[in-house]
């Protein structure tokens, strides 16, 4: 079976003028099947966000192979969209205009854009807020706009870079449940970067643990929990076992100072 | 070679910046070598070295000193009064909504109007002595001080005020313990702006209706086509402005260490 | 009930207005009934109002305003056209900033008005001299504020646009320009203040027309009410322009909680 997303031997070095070069990713690889929800966890600086940016097409790796549906990735493309940790909404645009941004850049007609954005705004539960500005919204609401925007161009892959890290705990829990619902409705392939083991275990089909810098894949832990998942699952002993397993693997990387 | 490259990289801003200024000065100095100026223009032209020579000359014969002291006096007194007036009023306006509402239109109006416009009136009232200059300096410098103090007081962190109040502090103590220290960076930024405006006031005040001072020196030199003397005066004002502004900026950054944002203004 | 409601809602405006009335009334009363009015030193609101009516009806005022405005608009527009692109380049390219910044900052921090006598002697006392002076004074806020605006562009937003496949043109139109506009408006506001100083100082120097000259001339001839009319008109213009720009700033950039010095 050909994996939907395939990365092999990815290497990326950050060169800086006055300091030594930093190898962010060394021989990093992974495989993701279509429609899977995969999380990536790892110590700070291990290169997980960098990898997402490489997948997005904003950064080119120094070496290695990167394929989406068996075609090499050479730059940003309509099939991949990212949801950013700091939201990245244009402050001078309304919610609606923000959601339509991707469609606008692809020169989609205004009426089509309006239809699409209305659908998505409803999907993320923000109807009534179409004409509001980002500075009038809470963190959770801003991230919903970010999600709607990412979904607007109908990508096949959703790249999420610690999207809920800037939210308070309750909003975070809420957003996680909503994300799962949206994922199940839309069937996207999701690559989710997070620091939170609990979040990774709760959301994903598989959790990939990265080593400390230079990052490579250390282990893959399948999450055998049934879907659809609900909050109570987090309180079960099975869930705790999974968390411990991930933690055991991750722990080693946290004590390594490279 | 890596040593040289690293040296350049570290200091690139300075090298490029200062290099550019030096280049300009060199070009300026050498213009007479490239073009023979038409006779009309030659009257107006001067070079950095000539300016330097004039400076030295004026310094030696005491002229510079004489004018400098007059200007300095107007500057210091005017700035001093504006601090003594601006800070308390800004403070009170910040704490009292009524006073704020009362005075705000006047502050806005006087601040937006170029102070220079009052000069003929001031000369009428005070003559060509030093007081008209002091008033212009005051009128220019008081507003940044007042406004910045006001903003600093208004932006005080409510939480901190409540904390201090919860320990039983009265209004005066709240002022002293929380409001003033919190406002200090704003006030210093205001001082930086006030200095610029004060110098402007001295310059303009001494252009018209004066018989002494660096501004007067510049104006009378200009009318006598002594261009190099004009530039000496301009350079002195420039230098003073830079030195004072940098000194205050240094003070600002020392204070900014505990502030999340500094008041930005151009 | 209605009056106190109105008062509560518009407290600032009402208080300001009332205090102005009080002040003017007090001034008038003081110099009419309490203290003798020496016309060479003081004047009072009624006389100013009379002079105001006379000037408005006459020709001279409008002519003076036209002359001054012309020179101001020339100098100011040139400053805008030169300053904004230069500021944009400085904000965009670090090396350009490194090279030009010390020089321009030194100029900005200095009282360039000090060059006014020289400019007037060099370029004469007509349109050219005044316009150049206005230009020199008002170009710097444009440069520095535009540079700050360009530098303030959030690189995250650049990435967002690029991630959706946006090209260079999209970057400029959808992110850089909107980000920079509030800064440019702020710069315009500052430039106006400085430009006005230029036009007034320029006209004080032996001009023969223009509002600045008029004020000085009235002063020389001890016509205080007329002088005050000029001062008031100029103040009103200055305040109007500044406040309009301030409003523009807040409408264009409602997301900025400006901690600004006026």
Residue C92 lies in a domain: yes
Residue C96 lies in a domain: yes
Neighboring chain A residues of C165 at a CB cutoff of 8 Å = 75-78, 105-106
On whether any CB of chain C is under 8 Å from the CB of A52, the answer is no
pLDDT for A256 equals 64
Neighboring chain C residues of B196 at a CB cutoff of 8 Å = 109, 111
Q: Is the pLDDT of residue B42 over 80?
A: no
Per-residue pLDDT of A69-113, as tens digits, reads 888 888 888 889 999 988 999 988 999 999 999 898 888 899 999
Of the three residues A154, A180, A205, the one that is the final residue of a domain is A154
Which residue, B8, B19, B133, is CA-closest to B67?
A: B133
pLDDT for B256 equals 65
Contact C135, C119 (CB under 8 A): no
A73 and A46 share a domain?
A: yes
Taking residues A124-144, what's their average pLDDT? 92
Q: Which two tokens stand for residue B163?
A: 């904390």
Q: 3-class DSSP state for residue A89?
A: coil
Q: In chain C, whose CA is at the least distance from the CA of A58?
A: C163
Given an 8 Å threshold on Cβ–Cβ distance, is A88 in contact with C178? Answer: no
A73 and A11 share a domain?
A: yes
B26 and B156 share a domain?
A: no
Compute the nearest-CA separation of B17 from chain A (Å): 20
Percent of chain A with pLDDT over 90: 53
Range among B70-79, B148-157, C115-124 with highest mean pLDDT value = B70-79
Residue C248 lies in a domain: yes
pTM, two decimals, is: 0.81
Q: How confident is the model at residue C37 (pLDDT cuts 50, 70, 90)?
A: confident
Q: 3-class DSSP state for residue B140?
A: helix
Residue A255 lies in a domain: no
At C260, give phi and psi (nearest 5°): -120, 155
Interface test with C, best of B113, B186, B196 (most C CBs within 10 A): B113
B10 and B120 share a domain?
A: no
Residue C48 lies in a domain: no
* C 15-74 → B contacts, CB under 8 A: 15-16, 19-20, 40-41
Which residue in the set C197, C239, C259 is minimally distant from B116, CB to CB? C197
Q: Is the pLDDT of residue C51 over 90?
A: yes
Mean pLDDT, rounded, of chain C: 87
A121 and A175 share a domain?
A: no
A51 and A166 share a domain?
A: yes
A45 and A119 share a domain?
A: no
Q: Is the pLDDT of residue B232 over 50?
A: yes
Residue A48 lies in a domain: yes
Domain extent for A73: 1-79+155-239
Any chains having at least 3 CB pairs less than 8 A from chain B are: A, C
Residue A61 lies in a domain: yes
Dihedral, CA of residue C77, residue C83, residue C85 and residue C86, to nearest 10: 160
A114 and A136 share a domain?
A: yes
Give me the CATH number covering residue A173.
3.40.50.300
Q: In chain B, whose CA is at the least distance from the CA of A18?
A: B6
B66 and B35 share a domain?
A: no
Give the dihedral sign, CA B53/B58/B59/B60: positive
Percent of chain B with pLDDT over 70: 92
Q: Which two tokens stand for residue A136?
A: 């009038």
On whether any CB of chain C is under 8 Å from the CB of A55, the answer is no
A164 and A180 share a domain?
A: yes
Residue C108 lies in a domain: yes
Taking residues A136-156, what's their average pLDDT? 93
Neighboring chain A residues of C253 at a CB cutoff of 8 Å = 92
Q: 3-class DSSP state for residue A82?
A: strand
pLDDT for C258 equals 45
Residue B242 lies in a domain: yes
Contact B119, C204 (CB under 8 A): yes
Is-cis flag, bond preceding A228, omega within 30?
A: yes
How remote is the C-alpha of C230 from its chain's centroid? Answer: 16
- Looking at the structure of chain A, the number of domains it has is 2
Compute the nearest-CA separation of C96 from chain A (Å): 18
Residues sharing a CB contact under 8 Å with residue B258, sequence separation 6 or more, in sequence order: none
pLDDT for B265 equals 38
On whether any CB of chain A is under 8 Å from the CB of B9, the answer is yes
Which residue, B147, A53, C223, is CA-closest to A61?
A: A53
Quote the crossing angle between the two packed helices C94-109 and C60-92, to the nearest 10°: 140
Q: How confident is the model at residue C206 (pLDDT cuts 50, 70, 90)?
A: low
- Looking at the structure of chain B, the number of domains it has is 2
Taking residues C186-199, what's their average pLDDT? 92
B212 and B131 share a domain?
A: yes
Half-sphere exposure of A224 (CA within 13 A, CB side): 7
Which residue in the set A81, A88, A135 is minimally distant from C255, CB to CB? A135
Which residue in the set B13, B144, B233 is minimally distant from C114, CB to CB? B233
C156 burial class (0-12, 13-18, 19+ CB within 10 angstroms)? middle
Percent of chain C with pLDDT over 70: 94
Q: Print burial letters for C68-102: b (CB count within 10 Å at least 16), e (below 16).
A: beebbebbbebbbeebbebbbbbbeeeeebbbbbb
> Looking at the DSSP assignment, which residues form a beta bridge with residue A192?
A39, A160
Give me the CATH number covering residue C177.
1.10.3720.10
Contact B32, B47 (CB under 8 A): yes
Q: Is the pLDDT of residue B219 over 60?
A: yes
Taking residues C65-73, what's their average pLDDT? 94
Taking residues C176-194, what's their average pLDDT? 91
Give me the CATH number covering residue B252.
1.10.3720.10
Rg for chain B, CA atoms, rounded = 23
Residue C1 lies in a domain: no
Interface test with C, best of A105, A147, A153, A154 (most C CBs within 10 A): A105
Contact B265, B87 (CB under 8 A): no
Taking residues A34-43, what's their average pLDDT? 93
pLDDT for C80 equals 96
Mean pLDDT, rounded, of chain B: 86
d(CA A30, CA A246): 17
Of the three residues A111, A132, A154, the one that is the final residue of a domain is A154
B173 and B88 share a domain?
A: yes
Residue B139 lies in a domain: yes
Of the three residues A154, A176, A198, the one that is the final residue of a domain is A154
B10 and B84 share a domain?
A: no
Compute the nearest-CA separation of C203 from chain B (Å): 11
Contact B132, B206 (CB under 8 A): no
Interface test with A, best of C153, C164, C254 (most A CBs within 10 A): C164
Q: In chain A, whose CA is at the least distance from the CA of C252?
A: A92
d(CA A59, CA B244): 46
A71 and A166 share a domain?
A: yes
Give me the DSSP letters along A201-244.
HHH-SEEEEEPSSSB-EEEEEE----SS--GGGGGSHHHHHHHH
Contact C194, C141 (CB under 8 A): yes
Residue B225 lies in a domain: yes
C200 burial class (0-12, 13-18, 19+ CB within 10 angstroms)? buried
B196 and B236 share a domain?
A: yes
A167 and A45 share a domain?
A: yes
On whether any CB of chain B is under 8 Å from the CB of A18, the answer is yes
- Whether the ipTM is more than 0.95: the answer is no
A165 and A149 share a domain?
A: no
Residue C60 lies in a domain: yes
Taking residues A115-122, what's their average pLDDT? 94
Residue B265 lies in a domain: no
Residue C198 lies in a domain: yes
B154 and B58 share a domain?
A: yes
* C 147-206 → B contacts, CB under 8 A: 148, 187, 190, 193, 196-197, 200-201, 204-205
B23 and B58 share a domain?
A: no
Contact B201, B78 (CB under 8 A): yes
Per-residue pLDDT of A6-34, as tens digits, reads 888 899 888 876 677 888 888 898 999 99
A128 and A172 share a domain?
A: no
Given an 8 Å threshold on Cβ–Cβ distance, is C160 in contact with A84? Answer: yes
Q: Which residue has the higher pLDDT, B266 or C180?
A: C180
> How many C-beta atoms surround the C-beta of residue A31 within 10 A?
19
Given an 8 Å threshold on Cβ–Cβ distance, is A105 in contact with C164? Answer: yes
Per-residue pLDDT of A162-212, as tens digits, reads 999 988 999 999 999 999 999 999 999 999 999 999 999 999 999 999 998
pLDDT for B184 equals 87
Q: Which residue has the tokens 């705790």?
A: A240
B104 and B6 share a domain?
A: no
Compute the nearest-CA separation of A16 from chain B (Å): 11
B220 burial class (0-12, 13-18, 19+ CB within 10 angstroms)? middle
B110 and B242 share a domain?
A: yes
Domain extent for C165: 55-252
Domain extent for B13: 1-45
Any chains having at least 3 CB pairs less than 8 A from chain C are: A, B
Is-cis flag, bond preceding A214, omega within 30?
A: yes
d(CA A129, CA A137): 9
Percent of chain C with pLDDT over 90: 47
Q: How confident is the model at residue C260 (pLDDT cuts 50, 70, 90)?
A: very low
- Looking at the structure of chain C, the number of domains it has is 1
B133 and B223 share a domain?
A: yes
A71 and A168 share a domain?
A: yes
């Amino acid at each position: 079976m050909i994996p939907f997303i395939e990365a092999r031997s990815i290497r990326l070095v950050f060169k800086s003028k006055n300091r030594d070069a930093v190898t962010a990713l060394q021989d990093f690889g992974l495989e993701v099947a279509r429609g899977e929800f995969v999380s990536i966890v790892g110590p700070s600086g291990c290169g997980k966000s960098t990898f997402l940016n490489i997948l997005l097409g904003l950064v080119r790796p120094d070496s290695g192979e990167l394929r989406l549906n068996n075609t090499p990735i050479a730059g940003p493309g309509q099939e991949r969209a990212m949801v950013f940790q700091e939201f990245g909404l244009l402050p001078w645009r309304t919610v609606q205009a923000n959601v339509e941004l991707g469609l606008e850049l692809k020169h989609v007609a205004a009426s089509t854009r309006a239809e699409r954005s209305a659908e998505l705004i409803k999907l993320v539960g923000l109807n009534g807020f179409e004409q509001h500005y980002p500075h009038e919204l809470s963190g959770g609401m801003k991230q919903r706009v970010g999600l709607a925007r990412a979904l607007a161009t109908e990508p096949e892959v959703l790249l999420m870079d610690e999207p809920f890290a800037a939210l308070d705990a309750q909003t975070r829990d809420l957003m996680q449940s909503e994300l799962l619902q949206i994922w199940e409705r839309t069937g996207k392939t999701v690559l989710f970067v997070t620091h939170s083991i609990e979040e990774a275990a709760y959301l994903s089909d598989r959790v990939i643990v990265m080593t400390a810098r230079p990052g490579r894949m250390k282990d893959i832990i399948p999450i055998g929990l049934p879907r659809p998942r609900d909050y109570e699952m987090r309180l079960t002993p099975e869930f705790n076992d999974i968390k411990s397993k991930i933690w055991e693997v991750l722990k080693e990387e946290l004590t390594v100072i490279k | 070679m890596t040593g040289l490259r690293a040296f350049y990289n570290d200091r690139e801003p300075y090298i490029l910046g200062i290099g550019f200024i030096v280049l300009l000065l060199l070009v300026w100095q050498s213009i007479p070598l490239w073009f023979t100026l038409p006779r009309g223009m030659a009257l107006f032209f001067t070079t950095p070295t000539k300016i330097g020579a004039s400076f030295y000359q004026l310094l030696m014969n005491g002229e510079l000193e004489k004018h400098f002291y007059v200007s300095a006096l107007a500057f210091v007194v005017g700035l001093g009064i504006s601090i003594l007036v601006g800070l308390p009023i800004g403070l009170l306006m910040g704490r009292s909504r009524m006073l704020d509402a009362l005075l705000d239109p006047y502050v806005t109006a006087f601040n937006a109007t170029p102070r220079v416009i009052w000069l003929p009136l001031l000369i009428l009232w005070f003559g060509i002595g030093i007081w008209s200059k002091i008033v212009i300096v005051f009128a220019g410098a008081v507003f940044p001080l007042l406004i910045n103090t006001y903003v600093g007081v208004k932006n005080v962190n409510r939480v901190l005020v409540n904390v201090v109040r919860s320990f039983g502090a009265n209004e005066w103590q709240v002022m002293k313990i929380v409001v003033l220290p919190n406002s200090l960076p704003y006030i210093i930024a205001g001082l930086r702006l006030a200095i610029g405006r004060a110098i402007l006031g001295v310059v303009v005040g001494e252009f018209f209706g004066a018989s002494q001072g660096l501004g007067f020196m510049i104006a009378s030199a200009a009318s006598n086509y002594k261009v190099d003397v004009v530039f000496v005066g301009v350079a002195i004002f420039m230098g003073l402005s830079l030195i004072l502004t940098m000194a205050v900026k240094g003070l600002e950054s020392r204070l900014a260490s505990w502030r999340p944002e500094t008041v930005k203004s151009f | 009930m209605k009056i106190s409601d109105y008062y509560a809602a518009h407290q600032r405006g009402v208080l300001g207005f009332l205090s102005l009335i009080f002040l003017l009334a007090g001034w008038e009363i003081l110099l009419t009934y309490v203290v003798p009015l020496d016309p060479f030193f003081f004047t009072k609101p009624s006389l100013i109002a009379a002079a105001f009516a006379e000037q408005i009806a006459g020709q001279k005022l409008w002519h003076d305003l036209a002359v001054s405005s012309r020179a101001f608009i020339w100098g100011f527009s040139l400053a805008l056209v030169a300053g904004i692109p230069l500021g944009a380049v400085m904000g965009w390219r670090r090396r350009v900033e490194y090279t030009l910044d010390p020089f321009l900052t030194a100029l900005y921090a200095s009282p360039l008005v000090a060059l006014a006598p020289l400019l007037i002697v060099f370029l004469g006392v007509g349109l050219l001299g005044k316009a150049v002076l206005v230009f020199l004074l008002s170009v710097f806020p444009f440069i520095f504020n535009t540079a700050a605006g360009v530098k303030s562009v959030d690189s995250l937003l650049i990435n967002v646009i690029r991630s959706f496949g946006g090209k260079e043109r999209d970057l400029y139109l959808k992110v850089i320009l909107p980000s920079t506009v509030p800064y440019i408006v702020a710069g315009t506001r500052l430039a106006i203040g400085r430009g006005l100083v230029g036009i007034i100082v320029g006209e004080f120097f032996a001009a023969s027309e223009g509002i600045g000259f008029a004020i000085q001339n009235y002063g020389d001839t001890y016509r205080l009410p007329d002088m005050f009319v000029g001062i008031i008109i100029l103040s009103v213009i200055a305040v109007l322009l500044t406040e309009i720009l301030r409003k523009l700033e807040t409408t264009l950039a409602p997301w900025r909680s400006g901690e600004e010095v006026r």
